[in-house]
Amino acid sequence: MAETFDFDLFVIGGGSGGVRAARVAAGEHGARVGLAEDDRYGGTCVIRGCVPKKLMVFASEYAGMPAEAAAYGWDIKAGAFDWTAFRGKMTDELDRLEGVYRKLLAGSGVETFDLRASIKDAHTVALSDGTTKTAKHILIATGGHPVRPDLPNAELGIVSDDILHLETLPKSMLIIGGGYIACEFACILNGLGVEVTQYYRGAQILRGFDDEARGLVSESMCHSGVDLHLGTNILEMSQAEDGIRVKSTNGSERSFDQVMFATGRDPSSKDMGLEDVGVALGRKGQIEVNEYSQTAVPSIYAIGDVTDRVNLTPVAIREGMAFVQTVFAGTPTAMDHDLIASAVFTQPEMGTVGMSEEEASEQEEIEVYSTSFRPMRTAFADQPDRVLMKLVVSKSSRIVLGCHIVAPNAGELIQMVGIAVKAKLTKEQFDATCAVHPTMSEELVTMRTPTRTA
């Protein structure tokens, strides 16, 4: 007699990946699906990540518009930024989006539990109300969370999740870290009128990205007013009368109204009973999975940031879709993690797909086509802002191995270029494409002579 379960699938985690897998399994494949989430539906991306961050990026960009508008003949007076009004409207929007996620699940027939869940055995989930649910398959999609460094008084500082809960914006803030979250919030808060200082222990921000591209972002951030200190880390922090007192490795000792740690994120896999049932965890706590997102326990799968593969929302969603295809459609489908385009929403933005110049040159001989210039819009306004358009090309196959853009709306541009790079088009196919003039991006199809070879 076949074993019966409460559900065909039980999903732990109500973020983008978990919700997509749950509703497609239920709505398109008729599976009996349960889902547990102990926080808000929508996960990091919708509630405390991509969506509110992008809204804050939009808000921060208005600061420079009056000066630019004046160059174009407009008399627009600069005003003060109202954080309370903006935050209220943003909170309403996040509430609306959470409601959409809940409706999508209900409409697909997914039974939801607003409870914390852990793993009891290969087919049993224990909920925080003391009940248990059995399932033929269990999918873990609990995401990740920001971490504070191991430092005395680290609790005095905030992390990215806390930004949305600030009642008022501080006059001054120290941001510690040099990754994309640190740099994005440095630009956002600087644009909103906060005096931003940034410490990063490395020689240049945005480690892992193309050197030329991250160099231009760093230069632009400094020019816009971010007080960036490279090769600098925090030694001590303490509460003082004039704020949070910070002693750093560069010998300085200063006070800030607020300190934000953007020093990394860890997978949210603790206290779930995973290792007790045989699920293997990596050094950071990431759930180890095979190409089909399956753990060492055949009935348990994991997707998204909790696996620490490529930590991007669209990747988690596609991993969720591949899981459903594998388990419920009978079509084993491995997620393709190669050539994924991404954007860093600094000011200016950076869009990237494929290999950096440094990475590619270690593998084969390459040609680099690169140009940096003042675009028409800002040049006319006599502003110093520069953009970068860059292609990394294989010398032997002529395939474009990577593209890196630093420019306003680079995220929008790299989505389109990502298609061409994913299709492994050659430099000559880029060259055969007629330019759209006058645009910044036409440089991607008009660069004929290599800047250098490597």
Residue-level pLDDT at 1: 43
227 and 163 together in one domain = yes
393 and 422 together in one domain = yes
CATH number at residue 188: 3.50.50.60
55 and 133 together in one domain = yes
**Residue 378 sits in which domain range?**
342-453
435 and 363 together in one domain = yes
Residue-level pLDDT at 2: 56
Which token pair is 368?
A: 């680099």
Residue 139 belongs to a domain: yes
**Other CB atoms within 10 Å distance of the CB of residue 350:** 27
Q: Could you list the pLDDT tens digit for every one of the 454 residues in the chain?
A: 457 999 999 999 999 999 999 999 999 999 999 999 999 999 999 999 999 999 999 999 999 999 999 999 999 998 999 999 999 999 999 999 999 999 999 999 999 999 999 999 999 999 999 999 999 999 999 999 999 999 999 999 999 999 989 999 999 999 999 999 999 999 999 999 999 999 999 999 999 999 999 999 999 999 999 999 999 999 999 999 999 999 999 999 999 999 999 999 999 999 999 999 999 999 999 999 999 999 999 999 999 999 999 999 999 999 999 999 999 999 999 999 999 999 999 999 999 999 999 999 999 999 999 999 999 999 999 999 999 999 999 999 999 999 999 999 999 999 999 999 999 999 999 999 999 999 999 999 999 999 999 9
Which token pair is 16?
A: 């983008």
Domain boundary, last residue among 327, 358, 376: 327
Q: So which residues are the catalytic ones? A: 437
314 and 352 together in one domain = no
270 and 225 together in one domain = no
Domain boundary, last residue among 327, 351, 371: 327
Residue-level pLDDT at 3: 76
Residue 1 belongs to a domain: no
376 and 248 together in one domain = no
Residue 23 belongs to a domain: yes
Q: Which residue has the tokens 């999508």?
A: 104
Helix (H) or strand (E) holding 68: helix 65-71
Distance CA 256, CA 1 (A): 67
105 and 212 together in one domain = no
Distance CA 281, CA 261 (A): 25
Distance CA 167, CA 161 (A): 14
259 and 359 together in one domain = no
Distance CA 367, CA 232 (A): 34
Residue 334 belongs to a domain: no
Q: Collapsing DSSP states into helix, strand and coil, what is residue 255?
A: strand
Q: Are 252 and 167 in contact (CB under 8 A)?
A: no
Count up the domains in the chain and report the number. Answer: 3
360 and 297 together in one domain = no
30 and 112 together in one domain = yes
Residue 277 belongs to a domain: yes
Q: Which residues of 78-87 are buried (b: 16+ CB within 10 A; e: fewer)?
A: eeebebeebb
Distance CA 356, CA 342 (A): 13
233 and 172 together in one domain = yes
Quote the strand ranges of 155-226, DSSP E. 172-176, 195-200
Residue 333 belongs to a domain: no
Domain boundary, last residue among 263, 282, 302: 263
pTM as predicted = 0.96
Residue-level pLDDT at 162: 96
